[in-house]
Amino acid sequence: MERQFQAIKEMGISCADLTDNHQGGMLGVEYGFSASVSLDSHPARIRAMAANAGIELTALCAHANLLDPPSPDIYGTNEIIKAIRLAALLGIKDVITTEGDPKSECGEQLTRGEQIFAMVEKLRTPVQWAAELGVKLLLEPHGRVTDTIDGMTAVLEKLGHPDTVGICLDTGNAWLGGADPLDYVRSFGKRIGHVHWKDMPQEMERQRGKTFGCGMATIALGDGVVDIPAVENVKLSARRLKTWLRPAQQDVSIENS
C-alpha cells in the first residue's frame, strides 16, 4: 500500500479515495503482491501511510453486492458497517457504496421491487451507523438500480435520512448504464456529495444500457462521449459542492479521486 500512495503522488495527484479493502488479513498483503487495506486496520497505520506520501484521503469505498443473498464470502452489510467505522476513525466524511451486479440465479431473477427491497434491507443498519458517527453514506451509480433515476430515487426515499444518505455521481457509470449524468444533477442536486469524473470511449456505445458501471476508464477527461463540461457547468447545489477529480486513465488499486 505504501507504494500505491507514492505512485499516486508521483502522478501529481494529492487526493485519493481509499478503494480496495477487505476484512481481517490477506495473504497477498502480507507477502507484498496485493494492495488492499484491511477494514480491521488500526487507523494510525493508514493515516501515516497517506501522510508520508502527501495524500489526502477523500472517501472510503465500500462497493458491495446488495442483490445476491448474503454469504460470508460476499462484500455486504458487515463490510459497509466496518468501512463506516474506519472512515470515522480516519476523519473521512464520505463512504461510497452501491449494489453491483448479481452473480446468482436468485439475484438475477429479482423484480425491480425486490431489488429495491434487497438494497434497502442491507443498507438500513449501515445508515444507522453512518448517522451515529457523522459519516455520509453515498450511493454511486454502479448497478441496474442505481444507474437509473427512478431506481436511485426509490432507494433514497425508502432509506430516508437525507442528511446522512446521498449520492456519489460517477459520470461514466451513469452514462454507461443508459442515463444522462446531467439528469442526476437535475434530479438530485444537493444530495450529490462526491463526484467521480470519468469519460467513456466511443466504442463503449454498444454496451450502453447493458453494462452497469465499470471500475475504470481508459481515456482522459474530454476525450470521450460523456459531456463532462455540461455536467461541470451546472450548479449542483446552492451551496459549494466539494468534488474530487478522478483521472480516469490513471486508476490503480486506490481510486484516484
- For residue 218, the model assigns a pLDDT of 84
Instruction: Determine the pLDDT at residue 108.
Output: 96
Q: pTM of the prediction?
A: 0.89
Element (H, E) at 166: strand 165-170
* CA 203-252-31 angle, 5° bins: 135
Q: Which pLDDT value is given to residue 36?
A: 94
Grid cell 453512518 — which residue?
130
Distance in angstroms (rounded) separating the CA atoms of residues 103 and 112? 16
- Nearest CA among 165, 175, 225 for reference residue 196: 175
Query: For position 64, which CATH number holds?
Result: 3.20.20.150
**Is residue 107 included in any domain, yes or no?**
yes
Q: Residue 47 belongs to what domain range?
A: 2-250
In this predicted structure, what is the pLDDT of residue 103?
95
Question: Is 257 part of any domain?
Answer: no
Q: Give, for all 257 residues of the chain, the pLDDT tens digit.
A: 888 899 999 999 999 999 999 999 999 999 988 999 999 999 999 999 999 999 999 999 999 999 999 999 999 999 999 999 999 999 999 999 999 999 999 999 999 999 999 999 999 999 999 999 999 999 999 999 999 999 999 999 999 999 999 999 999 999 899 999 999 998 998 899 999 989 999 998 888 888 888 877 888 888 999 988 888 877 544 344 444 444 433 333 333 33
Number of structural domains (the chain) is 1
CA distance 20 to 227: 28
Q: Identify which of 115, 36, 98, 23 has the alpha carbon closest to the alpha carbon of residue 63.
A: 98
Task: Examine residue 256 and state whether it is found in any structural domain, yes or no.
Answer: no
